[in-house]
Chain A
Amino acid sequence: MTVPPLVEIKNLHVHFSVYGGQLKVLDGVNFVMRSGEKVGLVGETGCGKTTTMKAILRVLPMPPARIPQGEIYFKGRDILKMSEGELAQIRGRGISMIFQDPTAALNPVFSIGEQLEAVIRYSSDQKKPLSPQEVHQRAIASLQEVALADPERLLRSYPIQLSGGMRQRVCIGMALATGPELLIADEPGTSLDVTIQDQILRLLRKLVEEKNTSIILITHTLGIVREMTDRVYVMYAGNMVEVAATKELFASPQHPYTRGLMDAVPRLTGGGVSDGIPGRIPNYLNPPPGCRFHPRCPQAIEICRREKPPTYKLSEAHEVACFLYADNGKGTQSS
């Protein structure tokens, strides 16, 4: 008996119906992680990182979103086939999520206490419900955990009365209050200034390590990935284009997109700003055929325009979806 992976996504497609057609956002995403891993997910804005993560928790707004094909397993069970009741067991206690923008993720018309206490009440064992006093105590403990002063007053406050940094801390506290096995952190602190962002990330790392929580960290800041994760997925326009151990990825990025991404990071040691990757993420209404990256790829060859590249295994943990590596490794056709 092998232990199933904590999360496994197979060939996930997500489309959004819009006026004028279907946005084919996710185009066969594959992803796998074991329990205890800290996995990074990088890629430019709009590449489908958040959509993938929301799909895991089935919190995509459907409609307009729909999932024409794909499977998402959590500890061996397909989330997409679960009933509402089974799903309720997974959400919160199994997987919880910190959303990108803490201001949007907090309900503007409920106090912090009303929101946090609801999360705590419903993520506890429903057969032995907590008393209101216990819920309140745990809410206070959650806020103290994320280093927020005067939790009693904070519980009575509304999101509008809090600073951006405090809202982000509240969101982290809320996501961890359920005691999840897996935490999905979607660009935590992106909307904050750099010093606060740094504090938030340090806090998040400390809490995740203390509780031994598995984490998927979404970001487009490569420095954070380097510091906080064991393994990294690189995503481009709805596809996972490369995955490797963090160290290896930074030492020898293989996919032309990953290389471009790394070059795009300005270095503090000087040398000027690189040109980055010319062009933009494709239009999902009419994505380019073949490899979705080929219009921007400096090394594109004939086949890239026609066929979608399979994933080539370069080493045990290093895979890349690019025809340039067709000779180096054994190709495993995905879908």
Chain B
Amino acid sequence: MSTLNFLVRRIIYSVFVLLGLSIVIFVIARIMPGDPARMAVGARAPQWVVDRIREQMHLNEPLPVQYGYWLRDALRGDFGLSLVTQRPVTSDIREFFPASLELVLFSGFLSAVGGIGLGVLSARYKDTWIDNIVRLFSYAGVVTPSYIFAILFVLLLGWALKWFPIIGRLSEEVTAPPVVTGLITLDALLAGQFGTFLDALRHIVLPALSLAMGAIAQEARITRSSMADNLSKDYIASARALGIPERIVMGRFLLKPSLIPTVSILGLDIAATFSVAFLVELIFNWPGLARYGMQSMMHKDLNAISAVILILGAIFVTVNIVVDIIVAWLDPRIRLSAARSA
């Protein structure tokens, strides 16, 4: 009951956040210099064509009415035509989004496992050489942009050692599995094509790892310091004093409270990878949303830009809700106080 309440309230808030974002996007798109109708038909089209398009796009109506039309279409999934690809923006996104999603999911998984794993290791062997190496890596990882890692991995693991392929989502000789979710690894598994799954997995390792490095470093740092802080708490001394074995104290009674800050930051990092993935997608020739969004911006493709930004906003909001649910599950104090104030 309380969890449901909490969830419903969070979703209602999120709707307002997205509405606000849509207004901002709409206004920016309209105040940008240039006539959207002229941009849609090209510089050489005669004026009467532009006028007709203006009529069709409701550009002669007052701004709030225009927003109403725009929102109605957006809710139907219609963001208009892309200027660059000359296809509906929606079908472009349908094509590029799953590739990004797959990349981000893998990198999120690596960030969670790697970051928490290294953080725990570092806290467990605090002030030993293991801890020092992890801390050094953490500082380096936090300040190094992901494309540097991407280039390093391509050169080292891809080109020199030839452990991993460095281009695209699948090898050329491998046929793609039937599209169900658009995530090639998942689709391959669903179709029972294990060889294809392995090939897709080998392709995703390097880009996902490049994207995850910063988050791994960040999560390791936060997990370590949070565990180190909590280690001197009385409830840890008490658990030890009452005879609970060290591995249970560390793995359970210390880990759970220490993961709360990690999960909050991890959520933000994962949501952010969608938008910062551009250079990594470019380096690995990964047909993803970030690359598409960046190309749209280069070409002032307003319809595509609006759609991409709105989708990124929706992703941020969704990830935040998921993070809040996980944190509430980890921390009864938040769960219970949310229930009380509801």
Give the segment of B207-215, B302-310, B325-333 that binds chain A: B325-333
The answer to the question of A118 belonging to the interface, with a C-beta cut-off of 8 Å to chain B, is yes
Given A57-B240, A107-B239, A158-B336, A88-B245 contact (CB < 8 Å): yes
The answer to the question of A84 belonging to the interface, with a C-beta cut-off of 8 Å to chain B, is yes
The answer to the question of B238 belonging to the interface, with a C-beta cut-off of 8 Å to chain A, is yes
Given A108-B332, A122-B243, A59-B256 contact (CB < 8 Å): no
Whether the pair B331, A109 counts as a contact (CB closer than 8 A) is yes
The answer to the question of B253 belonging to the interface, with a C-beta cut-off of 8 Å to chain A, is yes
Within 8 A of A (CB), among B275-299: none
- The docked-state distance in angstroms from the alpha carbon of A263 to that of B260 is 49
Could you say which residues of chain B place their CB within 8 Å of the CB of A59?
237-238, 240-241
Give the segment of B47-55, B155-163, B227-235, B313-321 that binds chain A: B227-235
- Identify A161's interface contact among B127, B240, B248, B336, CB under 8 A: B336
Could you give, for residues 239-253 of chain B, a 1 whenever the CB lies within 8 Å of some chain A CB and a 0 otherwise?
111111110100011
Whether the pair B242, A97 counts as a contact (CB closer than 8 A) is yes
The number of inter-chain residue pairs (CB within 8 angstroms) is 99
Whether the pair B243, A110 counts as a contact (CB closer than 8 A) is no
When C-beta atoms are compared, the residue in chain B nearest to A61 turns out to be B232
Within 8 A of B (CB), among A177-192: 178
Range of interface residues on chain A? 35 or more
Given A57-B240, A110-B256, A175-B242, A105-B332 contact (CB < 8 Å): no
Could you say which residues of chain B place their CB within 8 Å of the CB of A43?
none
Whether the pair A92, B242 counts as a contact (CB closer than 8 A) is yes
- The docked-state distance in angstroms from the alpha carbon of A178 to that of B242 is 7
Could you say which residues of chain B place their CB within 8 Å of the CB of A119?
239, 242-244
Q: Name the distance in Å between A259's Cβ and chain B's nearest Cβ.
A: 33
Q: Name the distance in Å between B238's Cβ and chain A's nearest Cβ.
A: 4
Given A110-B253, A110-B256, A158-B332, A105-B244 contact (CB < 8 Å): no
The answer to the question of A106 belonging to the interface, with a C-beta cut-off of 8 Å to chain B, is yes
Q: Name the distance in Å between B298's Cβ and chain A's nearest Cβ.
A: 48
- The docked-state distance in angstroms from the alpha carbon of A61 to that of B254 is 14
Could you give, for residues 195-230 of chain B, a 1 whenever the CB lies within 8 Å of some chain A CB and a 0 otherwise?
000000000000000000000000000000000000
Given A57-B241, A63-B127, A91-B241, A99-B333 contact (CB < 8 Å): no
- The docked-state distance in angstroms from the alpha carbon of A96 to that of B243 is 8
Whether the pair B235, A105 counts as a contact (CB closer than 8 A) is yes
Scoring B234, B244, B253, B332 by chain A CB atoms within 10 A of each residue's CB, the highest score goes to: B234
Could you give, for residues 259-270 of chain B, a 1 whenever the CB lies within 8 Å of some chain A CB and a 0 otherwise?
010000000000
Whether the pair A88, B253 counts as a contact (CB closer than 8 A) is no
Could you say which residues of chain A place their CB within 8 Å of the CB of B245?
88, 122
Number of residues of chain B lying within 8 A (CB) of chain A: 27
- The docked-state distance in angstroms from the alpha carbon of A20 to that of B232 is 20
Q: Name the distance in Å between A90's Cβ and chain B's nearest Cβ.
A: 8
Could you say which residues of chain A place their CB within 8 Å of the CB of B145?
none
The answer to the question of B168 belonging to the interface, with a C-beta cut-off of 8 Å to chain A, is no
Q: Name the distance in Å between B1's Cβ and chain A's nearest Cβ.
A: 15
- The docked-state distance in angstroms from the alpha carbon of A330 to that of B220 is 60
Given A91-B241, A96-B243, A109-B331, A61-B235 contact (CB < 8 Å): no
Could you say which residues of chain B place their CB within 8 Å of the CB of A100?
234
Whether the pair A99, B234 counts as a contact (CB closer than 8 A) is yes
The answer to the question of B141 belonging to the interface, with a C-beta cut-off of 8 Å to chain A, is no
Whether the pair B238, A97 counts as a contact (CB closer than 8 A) is yes
The answer to the question of A123 belonging to the interface, with a C-beta cut-off of 8 Å to chain B, is yes
The answer to the question of A215 belonging to the interface, with a C-beta cut-off of 8 Å to chain B, is no
When C-beta atoms are compared, the residue in chain A nearest to B231 turns out to be A61
Could you say which residues of chain A place their CB within 8 Å of the CB of B241?
54, 57, 59, 91-92, 95-97, 99
- The docked-state distance in angstroms from the alpha carbon of A110 to that of B255 is 11
- Identify A118's interface contact among B231, B246, B248, B260, CB under 8 A: B248
Q: Name the distance in Å between B265's Cβ and chain A's nearest Cβ.
A: 18
Could you say which residues of chain B place their CB within 8 Å of the CB of A313?
none
Whether the pair A105, B238 counts as a contact (CB closer than 8 A) is yes
The answer to the question of B257 belonging to the interface, with a C-beta cut-off of 8 Å to chain A, is yes
Whether the pair A107, B332 counts as a contact (CB closer than 8 A) is no
The answer to the question of A78 belonging to the interface, with a C-beta cut-off of 8 Å to chain B, is no
The answer to the question of A93 belonging to the interface, with a C-beta cut-off of 8 Å to chain B, is yes
Known: A91-B241, A92-B243, A110-B253. 8 other contacts (CB 8 A): A57-B237, A91-B240, A91-B243, A92-B241, A97-B242, A118-B252, A174-B242, A178-B242
The 4 closest A-B pairs by CB, nearest first: A92-B243, A59-B237, A104-B234, A61-B232
| A-B contacts, 15 listed (Cβ < 8 Å) | A57-B241, A61-B232, A61-B237, A91-B242, A96-B243, A97-B238, A99-B234, A106-B235, A109-B332, A110-B253, A110-B256, A118-B248, A119-B242, A123-B242, A158-B332
Binding site for B on A (CB under 8 A): 54, 57-61, 63, 84, 88, 91-93, 95-97, 99-101, 104-111, 115, 118-119, 122-123, 158, 160-161, 171, 174-175, 178
